[in-house]
Amino acid sequence: MAPPNKLIERADILNAREVIAGRVHRTPVTSSAYLGERAGVRLHFKLELFQKTGSFKPRGVLNKLHHMSAEEKQKGVITISAGNHAQALAWGATQSGVSSTVVMPAGSQRSKIEATQGYGGEVILTEDGLMETCLAVQKERDLTLVHPFDDPFIIAGQGTVGLEILEDVPEVDVVIVGVGGGGLISGIATAIKSTRPGAKVIGVEPEGACAMHRSLQRGEPVPLERVDTVADGLAAPFAGQHTLAHVQTHVDDVVIVSDEEIVEAMWLIMERCKVVAEPAAASTLAALLSGRASLSPGSTVVCVLSGGNVDRERLKALL
C-alpha cells in the first residue's frame, strides 16, 4: 500500500475489492435518455446511493479497518464527518467489534446524527474546528484516527466504484465525480485511468466549498476559512496530501457549480430517475447540465450519484 506521497495503484483497488466482497452492495448503473439528450451525451448514473448506509463510504471504511492492527482496533476509532463517513465508520466498526467516536459539526443533519448513533457510534458535536477537536479527543482517549478521505486504504476502497463502472459501462468516455476531500475521485480516477487512459475524469465542487480547486491552483492543500453549501457531503474544509496528489495526476478537470444548480439537478434526478440523490450526489448532473464539464457531443458519460442521505425536512426546504 502506498506510503505518503506515493500514489495507490490498480492492484491496491483490486485487493480492496477482495477485502470488501460480500460486505457491500454491487450497486447498479442506470441511464436517462431525457437528461442525456439535454446534455447531448449518452448518460448513465452509478447509483451508489443504494450502498449500505446510503453512500459509497463503507467501501473505504471496511478496507481501512481490515488493514488495522489488533492493537489499533482495541483502542477504538475516531473520525470527523458531516454525516456519510460518520455513518459508514460507525456501521463498519460495529460490524468489526470496534468502538467508534465521530466528531461532527454542530449543524449536521439530525437524521445523519441519529443514524450514526443508531449504527453504534458515539457522536461529539462541536462548533469549533473539526480536526482540532478530533485530535484533542483522540489524544485524550488514545483512539485510532480513521481519516475520512486522506488515507491510501480509504482511497483504494472507494476506487472499487471505478472498477464497477468499467465493468458496466466499458465504453465510458467521461466519469463525473463530486469532490469533498477527494477520496472518492482519487480512487475512481486511479481505476479508470489504469484501464481506460483515454477516458476523462472530471471533479465537481460547490462554490461554497471548493478546497480542491484552490489547492490545485496553489499546488498544496489550502484550508478554507469558511464553508457554506447545501451539499454537506462535499463540505470538506481542506483537501488532503494524498488526495491532492491523486487528483493532480489522474483527474482532467475540477469544475465549480452553484447551490442553485445542485438543487435543480436534485429535482431532475427525482423527476426523471425516480431516486432521491443528496445534494453532493446531484452535483455531478449539475456540472453536466451547466456545460462546465467540457465534453464532446455524443460522449458516453457516467455521473456518480454518491449518496442519498437527506432527511425529509431538508428535502422540503430544498425542493
In sign, the C-alpha dihedral spanning 84, 87, 91, 93 is: positive
- For residue 166, what pLDDT is reported? 98
Please state, for a pLDDT cut of 90, what percent of the chain lies above it. Answer: 87
Look at 42-46, 229-233, 279-283 and tell me which has the smallest mean pLDDT: 229-233
Q: Does 88 share its domain with 204?
A: no
pLDDT bracket for residue 49 (50, 70, 90): very high
- Enclosing H/E stretch for 318: helix 312-318
Share of the chain above pLDDT 70, in %: 98
- My answer on whether 124 and 226 are in the same domain is no
Q: Is residue 1 part of a domain?
A: no
Of the candidates 303, 286, 270, the one whose C-alpha atom is nearest the C-alpha of residue 200 is 303
The whole-number pLDDT of residue 307 equals 96
Same domain, 39 and 62: no
8 A C-beta contact, residue 280 and residue 255? no
**Predicted pLDDT of residue 176:** 98
93 found inside a domain: yes
Answer whether residue 3 is part of any domain: no
Instruction: Clarify whether residues 26 and 112 are in a common domain.
Output: no
User: Does the structure show a pLDDT above 80 at 42?
Assistant: yes
Contact (CB, 8 A) for 54 and 309: yes
Same domain, 270 and 308: yes
pTM of the model: 0.95
Q: What is the mean pLDDT of residues 85-101?
A: 96
- Strand partners of residue 46: 29, 304
**Structure confidence at residue 5 (pLDDT):** 61
Asked if residue 130 and residue 239 are part of one domain, the reply reads: no
What mean pLDDT, rounded, does the chain reach? 94
Q: Is the pLDDT of residue 110 over 80?
A: yes
Name the domain count of the chain.
Answer: 2
34 plus 173 within the same structural domain: yes
Helix (H, G, I), strand (E, B) or coil at 125: strand
Same domain, 254 and 107: no
Q: Is the pLDDT of residue 80 over 70?
A: yes
Structural domain contains residue 172? yes
pLDDT tens track for 128-174: 888 999 999 999 999 999 999 999 999 999 999 999 999 999 999 99
Q: Above 80 in pLDDT, residue 316?
A: no
What is the arithmetic mean of pLDDT over 8-33? 98
The yes-or-no verdict on residue 4 having pLDDT over 60 is: no
In this prediction, residue 319 has a pLDDT band, given cuts at 50, 70 and 90, of low
| Domain-embedded: residue 128 | yes
Nearest-angstrom CA–CA distance, 115 and 117: 5
Give pLDDT, residue 317.
Answer: 73
Which residues are CB-neighbours of 91 under 8 A, at least 6 positions away?
52, 53, 58, 61, 119, 120
Domain boundary among 95, 115, 148: 148
Domain boundary at 148, 178, 209, which? Answer: 148
Q: Do both 276 and 216 map to the same domain?
A: yes
Q: Where are the beta strands (DSSP E) in 14-66?
A: 29-31, 42-47
List active site positions.
57, 306
Check whether residue 126 and residue 159 sit in a common domain.
no
Q: Rounded to whole angstroms, how far apart are CA atoms 291 and 51?
A: 29
Same domain assignment for residues 118 and 228: no
Domain range for residue 52?
A: 10-56+153-318
Say how far apart CA 153 and CA 177 lie, in whole Å: 19
Mean pLDDT of the region 68-92: 95
Distance CA 30, CA 100 (A): 35
pLDDT tens profile 247-294: 999 999 999 999 999 999 999 999 999 999 999 999 999 999 999 988
Q: Which of the listed residues 148, 167, 193 is the one where a domain comes to its end?
A: 148
48 shares a domain with 167: yes
Which CATH number covers residue 44? 3.40.50.1100
What mean pLDDT comes out for the span 221-246? 93
5 inside domain:
no
What is the number of other CB atoms lying within 10 angstroms of the CB of residue 197?
8
The answer to whether position 29 is within a domain reads: yes
Question: Is 200 part of a structural domain of the chain?
Answer: yes
